[in-house]
A = this chain, B = another copy of it.
Amino acid sequence: MGKFNKVTFIGFGLINSSLAHVFKSKSLAKETCAYSRRKETRNKIKKLKIVDNVYDDIKKSVKNSDLIILGVPVGAMKKIVTIIASSLESGAIITDVGSVKKELVDSIPLVLPNHIHFIPGHPIAGTENSGPESGFSELFKGRWCILTPGQNTSKTALAKVKNMWIEAGMQIAIMDAEYHDRVLAITSHIPHLVAFSIVGTVTELEDQLKTEVIKYSAGGFRDFTRIAASDPVMWRDVFLNNSEAVLEMLGRFIEDLTALQKSIRWQDGESLEKLFTKTREIRKGIISEEQD
């Protein structure tokens, strides 16, 4: 692929810092830059030496950039694009790594000049860690990246963003933004919400019981605590910006859970066993998908 001239990472959490590692190890751009609002984060980025320059002025950071990657919480993206819009080079590409797409597809183009390309993206990869020091170049390997371009998107710009994620080791899927949000509500947003909720329930237990729960967490709860340790602000914005799809799926889930509650109360073993047998099948589907 052709090298980028100058890439600017706006925000430097798990995804952008991991991507910066990829840019460095594969020399994907002549110059790599990062901007972060917080001085503490900027100092961390400087120490890590994964990018050439670290800026404290967001407008300067995007000057002459042909690729800008937004790695900030979804709720902050429109504001940031509004601020940088007039500093962008004609033909520059803005892409993002947010977990919600419809809200961005609806709002970002409204604040962006016509000569800038916006390619919404979502690399489905992550750990429960956040911050510049949590990044590593292998994060994306073998994972899916979903891009949700509009109908008038430049094919050249789309191809460039695609190639970037392929260089990071990802498989690419192109999808409608609204459909992306529905799929992700189920695969990611609801599981996170449930994990946050159940771990939240535990924080309210009396102290001794809470201590025991932490001690014996290996039985299932441990997996939930890992999920519920994800970045609070990022997840706040996911739920605020994908509320429609999340609320729809959450409604279905609460209905099903209430039915299960009733089965337990009425000692209806047959219904329980039937459900638990059905759910086992889904796992087989996932394992065979991974072996493809």
Contact = CB atoms under 8 A, between A and B. Distances in A.
A225 B269 CA distance: 21
B201 A249 contact: yes
A186 B202 contact: yes
A203 B281 CA distance: 9
A200 to B, nearest CB: 5
Interface residues of A, number: 94
A237 B228 CA distance: 28
B128 A283 contact: yes
Contact of A275 (B196, B246, B260, B282): B196
A279 B196 contact: yes
24 contacts: A125-B218, A128-B283, A144-B218, A183-B209, A187-B222, A188-B220, A189-B220, A195-B220, A196-B276, A198-B253, A199-B283, A200-B256, A200-B275, A200-B278, A201-B249, A217-B289, A229-B282, A232-B276, A235-B276, A236-B276, A239-B264, A243-B267, A246-B264, A251-B261
Given A222-B286, A236-B269, A240-B269, 16 more contacts: A179-B212, A184-B219, A186-B221, A187-B213, A187-B218, A187-B219, A191-B198, A191-B220, A199-B283, A200-B278, A214-B286, A225-B286, A229-B282, A236-B272, A240-B272, A250-B257
Interface of A: 75, 99, 124-126, 128, 143-144, 146, 173, 179, 182-184, 186-205, 209, 212-230, 232-233, 235-237, 239-240, 243, 246-247, 249-254, 256-258, 260-261, 264-265, 267, 269, 272-273, 275-286, 289
A221 B279 contact: no
A202 B278 CA distance: 11
A278 B197 CA distance: 11
A230 to B, nearest CB: 8
Given A227-B223, A273-B236, A216 B201 contact: no
